[in-house]
Amino acid sequence: MKKAFAALFIIFSFFSFGQYDQMARNAFISGNIDPAFDYWNISKPTTAFHSSFKPYLSSTFSNASDSSIPFKFYAFKNFFLSKTLNEKPEKRIWYNIQFHPIVDAEIGYDGLTKKPLTDFVGGTHLKVNINNDFTFAGTLIGGKSILPFYMDTLLSAQKILPTYGQAYGNNKNGYSFMDYTGYVSYSPNNNKIFNFQLGRDKHFIGDGYRSLLLSDIAPAYPFFRINTNIWRIQYNVWYAWMYDVSNANGFQKNFKNKFGAFHYLSYNITKELNVGLFENVVFKGSDTNQTRGFEVNYLNPIIFFRPQEYSVGSPDNAFIGLNLNYKLFNKLKLYGQLGLDEFFLKEIRARRGWWANKQAWQLGIKYVNVANIKGLSLQLEYNQARPYTYTHGVVEQNYAHYGVPLAHPLGANFKEYLGFISYRKNNWEINWQGTYVIVGKDSLNGKSNLGQNIFLSYTTRPYEYGHKTTQGIKTTILQSNLKYTYYLIPDMNMRLELGYIQHSESNSLKYVLQNPFFYVGFKTSFWNRQRDF
């Protein structure tokens, strides 16, 4: 097999490794690539890099060294399968083209239904860089998936695949889908201060596995973003066009426009300590009287959304948050988040369980090179969201896109404990993930809204006071993921995966589910694929 891949490398040997320092390229948001950034950022902290906003812009990690990582990985400055043209010294304009074939193929077995499962995604990624300051990148994929039972129970009703979007068909014959992402990025005059991007993609805020502020589990959305880096400060402003599909029944003509405006200010107080402030407002694109369109008052990149939403006479959905991380001993990173959907100090102090005490928080720790063993890492994380967090009185203005939450996949009204152990050496990796969740679900007949389903209006709540986290049908979810990965060509993210998942679920109504799942896969994909719920 090694000879076969050596031959593949020779076939592409005419591609050259560029000698340029691209400023406008985005790093992939990927669980296969992010560990390298974690190792570098924790062991060699710097005031120039901001770990809590993804995708990382190449100008912010231009001083990252591949040699600082104790395992093989997709290089920070990756030029595999790339060709630089017009690169003679006298040429004022040069071009670099990079191509990645994308395959995400799996064969699995569902131990509950006693059925084999197949999953195939294919596509291509193309990146074009011009003179370091301009980048175009595009990804086109399509495929068909048959999912384990525990993942299909929700999907069968709404026909929306997290990460990908609209799905067609059923789980018996496979869900078909197609998706694309891409962006145009420009850093004027090859500088590290300003970057402008227009595209269709995702963003992630935080240092953990989950984000309670903004995650990448929802499908991609069109956006325009301005990234500013001055001194120890990074400031991102972006505007997004999203969809509410809660009553669309799978028909695009029934999709409703919604928009979002986002601000994230990250400040590296020292090399070790970072503080990030987040705010956003989500608003529907139409009302009973007219098509509203994008609210121009939200284009101001420095406003505070809560007073602004009232000044324009519209009760839109504003949300604020705090992200913190602190690095210790070049081995540890402590991190946390606080999200505030509503905040009334008087009611919080009263401790009466007021429904509008809508907050979410996260605490976590990452530990690299555990016991001085290079490549061994440990992570622990806790997440909690109170009932009705991320909801709104008008469902179209909830904190979601395309039928999927923009923060945590469970919506709200939960407590979650996560643990990760990973050992990565040379070309191989073995990791384990454990998940323990207690979530309070709404009644099965849809007549009760106790705050877990963010696609229900909070105006349908049954009472004002006495709300507690995990109220409702108390459901316990246990999951263990064990995976072995061998990287055939790390610079291409080409890998073999062998995994086992044990998913268990039970609730206070005596419902019990035990769903084991085995799979083996061949992949070159770059996106995060969560198999939790």
Q: Is the pLDDT of residue 9 over 80?
A: no
Tell me, what's the pLDDT at 302?
A: 82
Tell me, what's the pLDDT at 255?
A: 87
CA 74, CA 65: separation in Å to the nearest integer?
12
Q: How confident is the model at residue 236 (pLDDT cuts 50, 70, 90)?
A: very high
Q: Are 250 and 314 in contact (CB under 8 A)?
A: no
With a pLDDT cut of 90, the percent of the chain lying above it is: 73
pLDDT tens column, 449-508: 999 999 999 999 999 999 999 999 999 999 999 999 999 999 999 999 999 999 999 998
| CB-based burial label for 307 (10 Å; 0-12, 13-18, 19+) | exposed
Give residue 273's identity as a one-letter amino acid code: L
Q: Is the pLDDT of residue 211 over 70?
A: yes
Q: How confident is the model at residue 146 (pLDDT cuts 50, 70, 90)?
A: very high
Tell me, what's the pLDDT at 419?
A: 98
Which residue has 């284009």 as its token pair?
299
Domain spans of the chain? 17-523
pLDDT tens column, 379-412: 999 999 999 999 999 999 999 999 999 999 999 9
Q: Is the pLDDT of residue 301 over 50?
A: yes
Residue among 432, 371, 492 at smallest CA distance from 72: 492
pLDDT tens column, 49-78: 999 999 999 999 999 989 889 999 999 999
Q: Is the pLDDT of residue 99 over 80?
A: yes
Tell me, what's the pLDDT at 7?
A: 46
CA 402, CA 166: separation in Å to the nearest integer?
8
Tell me, what's the pLDDT at 530?
A: 84
Tell me, what's the pLDDT at 227?
A: 97
Kindly write down the DSSP assignment for every residue of 330-360, as one continuous string: TTEEEEEEEEES---HHHHHHTS--TT--EE
Average pLDDT, the chain: 90
Q: Is the pLDDT of residue 335 over 80?
A: yes
Tell me, what's the pLDDT at 448?
A: 84
Tell me, what's the pLDDT at 166?
A: 87
| H helix or E strand, kind and range, residue 325 | strand 317-328
Tokens found for residue 227 = 């990234």
Q: Is the pLDDT of residue 15 over 80?
A: no
Q: Is the pLDDT of residue 200 over 90?
A: yes
Which CATH number describes the domain made up of 17-523? 2.40.160.10
pLDDT tens column, 114-138: 999 999 999 999 999 999 899 999 9
Tell me, what's the pLDDT at 64?
A: 92
CA 159, CA 220: separation in Å to the nearest integer?
16
Q: Is the pLDDT of residue 343 over 90?
A: no
Least confident of 98-107, 264-273, 435-444: 435-444
Mean pLDDT of 155-170: 83
